[in-house]
Structure 1
Amino acid sequence: MTPYGSFTFFFILVILLAPTVILGLRGRRFHAYNMFVTVIALGIIFASSLQQAVALIGFTIWQVSLIKSYIHYRKKRNSDLVFYLAVVLSILPLAMSKLLPYFSTITFIGFLGISYLTFKGTQLVMETRDGLIKEDLPITRLLYFILFFPTISSGPIDRYRRFVKDLDAQISGEQYKLYLYEGINKIFRGFLYKYIIGYSINYYVISKLKFIAHSPLEHHLYYMYAYSLYLFFDFAGYSAFAIGVSYVMGIKSPENFNKPFISRNIKDFWNRWHMSLSFWFRDYVYMRFIFWMTKKKWIKNRNTLSNLGYILLFLLMGIWHGLEAQYIIYGLYHALLMVAYNAFERFNKKHKWWPQNKFTHALSVFMTFHFICFGFYIFSGQLFHKGV
């Protein structure tokens, strides 16, 4: 059963989380029960596919064993080689699930949510290396963090230390009322975004473009803008569901969207769009690349180094979506935008060519919106379809 994909799923959630709500309103602790709910919910989600269920169990054993082993190792030693090996082994199941279908018929490795579970596991290895995680992690907390069911399929990607703070927080009945109110509000926003606005755009515009558009150019333009809006409302709706259910369970999962279509430049956009993913790539790919290259002193020019970091970051993000041409080109397109904006920032800082006022702000938002929409048009693959 797909999370948040049917009203049946929400009906099951109401039944499963009713005791959580009762305990929360009474100021009682409910995380032990929520761990039990997570097991039941995962069983329901993966009940229709034994292959995916087995893959999830195998992946979890692999990831937890790796994390626990590296934490134990890190207490005594700190070899670069062992760290790199641990990161590679953490990412290996995801890489195999992404790459093997292109070269063979093997599909038993992948399962719903493998990407986001991998991001969590790799994050723990990296933070252990940095000394942010020093103590051995209780197995129940580690499993609960990795397998937290509200965010399993598409995030948001939480951070372990932030997650644990919520687990340890003492929530009174009055405080839980605020959690519950916020959670229900987000869930209803999810229904508005995904099942009303997103559905309407898809049904009344995208699926009927052949009747609306009167030329190939109109078809491409209408599709570009409609798809961009649909993608936002569908994904933001899902995120609202995931975050809302998390709040009901006493966990404040991070926000994933912050009005991305009013971004004033491409950097601002990536601080607003799919934030948990973009921040993950920023912290664990871009920043580490910059630090590593600076330490090695292979590239001394900061601007060149920053631009190479952007190319690496967005190329990996594109490949993460898939090896199809549209995903790789989408990644390179955003890398190009970031490099170009970097150059523009340096030029404007020196020459003060672009003043800061209401008019230039509005124009920046207008221009950025169109660049973003064209990027989503590339991402959709429609650019590569013939006979449109």
Structure 2
Amino acid sequence: MIPYGDFSFFYIALLLLLPVIILGLLGRKYNGLNIAISFIMLLLIFKDPNKNLFGLSLLSYEMVSFIIYIFYQLLLIKLYLKIVKNHNTLTNFILIMAAVIAPLAVVKVFQSSWFGFGSYEVGQLPLKSIIGFLGISYIMFKSIQILMEIRDRRLKEINSYELIKFLSFFPTISSGPIDRYKRFQKDEHKPLTKERYRELLLKAVHYIMIGLLYKYILAYWVDQFIILSIDFSAASIWMKLVYMYGYSFYLFFDFAGYSLFAIAFSYLMSIETPPNFNAPFASKNIKDFWNRWHMTLSFWFRDMVYMRIVFFMTKKKLLKDAFMVSNIAFMLNFLIMGIWHGLEWHYIAYGLYHGVLFVSYGYYEKWRKKHPWKLPQAAVDILAVVITFHFVAFGFLIFSGKLF
């Protein structure tokens, strides 16, 4: 069952959450009920569609991989908590981080067409479906964030049960939004009142309605009548532009719709998962765009990759020019983001493209301070939005793999 992929998912999830909703309206909350519902939903998400729902075969290869991976991450985090008390060294941090990233790295290699492993099978099952599962990336993001807070000594103790709840929270399991452990814990332990839950419920209904509009109407319409109707390789330059615009809006409506569903179901479980989109196509520059598009991922990379690279290079005094340090960090940040999407060339090119846009905009900002616009501010803003949108849309065309 694909999360938010069809209406049966909504029916089942809402039916299971009905006791939670009733309790919430009474101002009561049982956290154990949330994890029980998450577990049932995960069984259904990872269930083999060809197997009996009530048989032992319910534990599909993906579900077994998921359980093993959760406990693997739990073991590494608990191990690092012990290590860091006496040996908080960079070497130990790198080793534990490599162990956390290794399973996803293996999955990416087996998914890539570059290495030729995609056709490997064990029995009749593709090998990549045994070692990977839906949402492995987003669990890894959560684990890395926790490890970095442990290294910074902002997290000194972690309850295993609480950690499992955080890592296996079903509404955001497949594609985020990416929550932070401390923020999640704050919601988990916040007292629930009738008034607060009523507000969360109203917001959840609102987000579900908007999500239905985005994903099942607008994204579907764009996909059916623009994307699928254009043969990109044989299309004229003008139709390729139409495809580029259509693909950009499809990505937004589809992913923003999914994110709204995930946030809504989180709210039903009294967890205020952070937003993922904020009118990204109204951005006035590329930095503004990444403050509005897939925000939890963007902020995660900013905090866990970009800032760490800047801090390391500054501490080691590798370069004296702070502007150059920032530019290098931007390029590495977006290169890693591109590789995370996949090891295909277009994903890597997409990451590097945005790195170049960030660096170029930095130079433009320096130039503009000496050469301010003489146009009215409203005209400047409109022009900035139009230009930014076209740079972003071209990036999505690269991402699509259709460009070459």
TM-score (norm 1): 0.95
Q: In 2, are the aligned partners of 1:348 and 1:354 still within 8 Å (CA)?
A: no
How far 1:299 moved relative to its partner? 1.1
Number of equivalences: 382
Secondary structure, in 3 states, of the residue corresponding to 1:382? coil
1:4-31 per-position Cα deviation (integer Å, ceiling 9, x unaligned): 0011110001110000001101111232
Amino acid at match of 2:330: Y
Q: 1:73 to 1:355 in 2, by over 3 A?
A: farther
Q: What is the rounded CA distance, in whole Å, between the counterparts of 2:257 and 2:243 in structure 1?
A: 20
Q: In 1, are the aligned partners of 2:373 and 2:380 still within 8 Å (CA)?
A: no
Q: What is the rounded CA distance, in whole Å, between the counterparts of 1:115 and 1:318 in structure 2?
A: 13
How far 1:217 moved relative to its partner? 1.0
Establish whether residue 207 from structure 1 lines up as the match of residue 228 from structure 2.
yes
Q: What is the rounded CA distance, in whole Å, between the counterparts of 1:346 and 1:193 in structure 2?
A: 38
Establish whether residue 63 from structure 1 lines up as the match of residue 73 from structure 2.
yes
Q: 1:172 to 1:201 in 2, by over 3 A?
A: same
Q: What is the rounded CA distance, in whole Å, between the counterparts of 1:214 and 1:163 in structure 2?
A: 49
1:75 is matched with: 85
For structure 1, the residue ranges without an aligned partner over 5 or more in a row are none
Q: What is the rounded CA distance, in whole Å, between the counterparts of 2:20 and 2:30 in structure 1?
A: 6
How far 1:76 moved relative to its partner? 2.8
2:54 is matched with: none
Q: RMSD of the TM alignment (CA)?
A: 1.6
Q: What is the rounded CA distance, in whole Å, between the counterparts of 2:376 and 2:72 in structure 1?
A: 52
The alignment-based identity, stated in percent, is 49
2:149 is matched with: 127
Greater Cα offset, 273-282 or 98-107: 98-107
Greater Cα offset, 69-78 or 256-265: 69-78
Task: Choose which of 148, 162, 169 in structure 2 pairs with 1:148.
Answer: 169
Q: In 2, are the aligned partners of 1:90 and 1:122 still within 8 Å (CA)?
A: yes
How far 1:77 moved relative to its partner? 2.8
How far 1:352 moved relative to its partner? 2.8
Q: What is the rounded CA distance, in whole Å, between the counterparts of 2:30 and 2:238 in structure 1?
A: 54
1:1-388 equivalence runs, <5 A: 1-48=1-48, 50-102=60-112, 103=115, 104=117, 105=120, 106-107=127-128, 108-135=130-157, 137-209=158-230, 216-353=236-373, 357-384=377-404
Amino acid at match of 2:47: A
1:151-200 per-position Cα deviation (integer Å, ceiling 9, x unaligned): 00000000000000001100101110001100111111110100011001
How far 1:72 moved relative to its partner? 2.0
Greater Cα offset, 277-286 or 73-82: 73-82
Q: What is the rounded CA distance, in whole Å, between the counterparts of 2:197 and 2:73 in structure 1?
A: 33
Q: What is the rounded CA distance, in whole Å, between the counterparts of 2:235 and 2:163 in structure 1?
A: 55
Amino acid at match of 1:274: H
Amino acid at match of 1:205: I
How far 1:213 moved relative to its partner? 12
How far 1:71 moved relative to its partner? 1.1
